[in-house]
Amino acid sequence: MAIVRCDVCNGIFSQSYLAAHKRLAHGKRDASAATPAASPTSEKELIQKIASLYDSLSVKGRKRVIRKLIVKSQRVEGDPATQ
C-alpha cells in the first residue's frame, strides 16, 4: 500500500483513500473555486465563514491566527501605498 500526500492540505494518506479524502474534505472548496463568478461572496459572508472557521480551532490555533492577523495588520498600517 503506497503512502501519498494530499496536494490540497499536505496530509499523508494511503493511495487507495486519497480520492475519498479529497472528495470528503476538500470537495466543497474545490467546487466553489471552480465557479467563482457563479456565486459572488459578500464581505459579510466571508467574515461569517472566517468566524466559523476560527470557532473550530483549538486554543493554540486561535492564538496563532491572532498573531498572524496582528502582523498583517501592522504591515498594512506601515505601508505608505495603502494610506
Q: Residue 12 — φ and ψ, nearest 5°?
A: -105, 130
Look at residue 68 in the predicted model and tell me its pLDDT: 93
pLDDT per residue as tens digits for the range 15-71 = 999 889 888 888 765 444 544 554 557 888 888 888 889 999 899 999 999 999 999
Q: Report whether 11 contacts 21 (CB < 8 A).
A: yes
Q: Where are the domains of the chain?
A: 1-39, 41-83
